[in-house]
Chains A and B, each alone.
Chain A
Amino acid sequence: MTISFSTLKIAWRNLGRNRRRTLLSVGAIALGQFTLITVNGLDAGYFESMLRIVTGPLIGHVQVHHPKWREEQAVDQYLDNLSEAEKEIRALPNVKSVSARVFSAALAAPGERGRQPAEAEMGMVVGVDVSAENRQGGILASLPPADLPGPGSVVLGKVLAQRLKLTPGKTIAVISQDTDGLPVSNIFRVNALIQGGNELISRLGIVMALKDAQGFLALPNQAHEIIILGDDYRKAGELAERVKSLPALKNAEVITWKEAFPVIVRLIGMKNWIDLIFLVILFIAAAAGIANTMMMSTFERTREFGMLLALGTRPGRLIRMIAWESVILGLVGVALGSILGTIVVLITSHTGIDYGALGGIRGQELSFQGLTISYVVYPKFEFHQVLFGFGAVTITAVLTSLWPALLAARLEPAEAVRS
């Protein structure tokens, strides 16, 4: 099938015959495509920020635990021979960082006696690799180097510190249990307070250097959790398989971020459905606009089509002419919507959209499944959404033009010219 230049020319010029109708259709299609790109851009930006937190140093790409740790979280369910395990993991390809954590429930109270007897509060000792957690997305990401926990010092979750009325520079008494169930206690200096990233840390966290925590809990070469970051979170499954095969971790449970945080997988699935729903809305808007325009335009031109057929125009050419009119109409609309949508998404991807401010809660953060997520969303431009829109509108345009095109092609020239 050849597409002649004159077929395209006639199709294009025919759209100018009733400009108001054409503009309305183009506007409807453009609005649909604009909505598709901006709403999906917002979704994508929101999910990406969530994914960045989930797959950052906090949760990692792959986690290693004692097989019962996730179920019971008891202090004696640790991974043994930590240094050897870390060495083997670091030797694997595509591993960017490895860090270990220890956890233990604790009671905490101010370390200095005040006029009133202080009440103890529930806390959680978290021993971390300080340099690893100080990176973006880590537990200690918000702290300057001077505030990081060192020997004998800790960083407290802000909520816990408020409950204990503690400020940086004060001391905190921490009582916990070692792996044999024996009580252990010590006094630490409070270096700084942290908030954000992880709600659990904010409410309960007594964060200290891994060595301090290991010494405090009598876990000299052990850890409860190893966090592994690879070079691509999408390849976490392959990385987990390689980690599982390491001799030092043969009895350990190795999971990916998807298993550690399954809700994100469901949310991503939900996002795909949202994308699809908008695509369907775009289909319907485009179909309604184009079908209306093409039907009206075809019926108005019955005599003209009869004349074209009388001159010897083949029905197939007439069908192509009408289909091209429809496709051009759709493409102009979708191009306009794409340009506007892309501009809006690209601008807001830099400036961000503060949903908190829109709702009158500027400066706060959203807590979701223990993660703290900013209300400021940075939409993400996804080129495939533009292509989906183009594809959807092109298919819709061809399909909706078929009926009027076939009606025109089946006209009897004599009857049509007489009409």
Chain B
Amino acid sequence: MSGTDGNFLITARGVTKIYRTGQIEAPALRGVDLEVKSGEFISIVGPSGSGKTTLLNLIGALDSLTGGELKVLGKDVSGLSRRERAELRLHHLGFVFQAYNLIPVLTARENVEFVLELQGVGRERSARAEEVLGELGLSEFSDRRPLEMSGGQQQRVAVARAVASRPRLVLADEPTANLDGENAEVLLRLMRRLRDEQGMTFVFSTHDSRVVEHAERIITLTDGRVSQDERRNPDRG
């Protein structure tokens, strides 16, 4: 995979998504245009129902768009089969969800290993999982199951799992929604560090002003459209 369309990791042109329930149609995205470069740290904000999660799902090939064109790492996701979308997610994207993020019957290390195993990483996956957990300061939790960890620790393990295979793009849907201020701060610093050190691109949806403060680019969605696209230097506030 070449990975980009020109210099862009994500290119959206007039992307629409309409949910249909029987005769009822509910438009979630009404024509989104967007370009994301490699290494960006982006927050998608907007009120509930504005289409933030829908947009992330489409970028993550978790859902299919109704209209428009969406290229992720140079691939037109609307033309991908179910299997190809699974392959794209597995090998090139990392996901962090709001909750229920980890496999509850596996330990932190096994959760990270699981994704590496899906990717076909051999015997070294255990060492790699330990390495990633160590990088994120989670070594002491590696043998704990999710229920034995706090919400913040679980989310950090989820980030470790998302970045274990060094994906180019990490998508996070409301990653701090269930975290207190301190844990949210730790998580965001962690993600920025990964971006800085490994050049990963982070796109996350949020309602959380603490998250927005860390973003270098803030895309505001209103009624399924991009109403504002602002670039900023988070270190300067």
Contact = CB atoms under 8 A, between A and B. Distances in A.
Given A309-B86, A310-B95, A10 B106 contact: yes
B57 A308 contact: no
B55 to A, nearest CB: 11
Interface stretch (B110-118, B180-188, B190-198): B110-118
Contacts of A13: 105-106
B105 A413 contact: no
Interface stretch (A110-118, A311-319, A351-359, A366-374): A311-319
A14 interface: yes
Interface stretch (B30-38, B68-76, B96-104, B214-222): B96-104
Contacts of B95: 310-311
Contact of B113 (A6, A314, A412): A6
Contacts of B118: 311-314, 317
Contacts, number: 68
Interface in A185-235: none
B166 interface: no
Contact of B57 (A9, A312, A414): A414
Nearest to B99: A303
Contacts of B90: 311-313
Given A310-B60, A311-B90, A303 B100 contact: yes
B236 interface: no
A307 B103 CA distance: 9
Given A13-B106, A307-B101, A312-B87, A6 B57 contact: no
A304 B100 contact: yes
Given A312-B89, A312-B115, A412 B63 contact: yes
Contacts of A308: 103
Interface residues of A, number: 26
B144 interface: no
B62 A417 contact: yes
B16 to A, nearest CB: 16
Interface string A254-278: 0000000000000000000000000
Interface string B72-96: 0000000000110011011100010
A157 B119 CA distance: 84
B60 to A, nearest CB: 7
Interface residues of B, number: 28
B114 A6 contact: yes
Contacts of A317: 118
Given A304-B104, A412-B63, A6 B89 contact: no
A6 B104 contact: no
Contact of A414 (B63, B86, B91): B63
Nearest to B95: A310
Counting chain B CB atoms within 10 Å of each CB, the highest count among A13, A17, A413 belongs to: A413
Contacts of A17: 104-105
Contacts of A307: 97, 100-101, 103
A414 B62 contact: yes
A168 B118 CA distance: 88
A10 B117 contact: no
Contacts of A414: 57, 62-63
A76 to B, nearest CB: 84
B2 to A, nearest CB: 20
A308 B87 CA distance: 13
Contacts of B82: 315
B108 to A, nearest CB: 14
Nearest to A13: B105
A414 to B, nearest CB: 4
Contact of A6 (B60, B62, B91, B117): B117
A314 B83 contact: yes
A344 B151 CA distance: 51
B44 to A, nearest CB: 16
A315 B86 CA distance: 9
B104 A4 contact: no
B105 A10 contact: yes
Given A17-B105, A311-B118, 18 more contacts: A9-B106, A10-B106, A304-B103, A304-B104, A307-B97, A307-B100, A308-B103, A310-B60, A310-B89, A311-B89, A311-B114, A312-B90, A312-B118, A313-B86, A315-B86, A412-B63, A414-B62, A417-B100
20 contacts: A4-B117, A6-B106, A6-B113, A10-B106, A13-B105, A17-B104, A17-B105, A304-B103, A304-B104, A307-B101, A310-B60, A311-B95, A311-B118, A311-B161, A312-B89, A312-B115, A312-B118, A317-B118, A414-B57, A418-B53
Interface of A: 4, 6, 9-10, 13-14, 16-17, 303-304, 307-315, 317, 412-415, 417-418
For the complex of A and B, the 6 pairs showing the least CB-CB separation, nearest first, are A312-B90, A13-B105, A414-B63, A414-B62, A414-B57, A312-B89
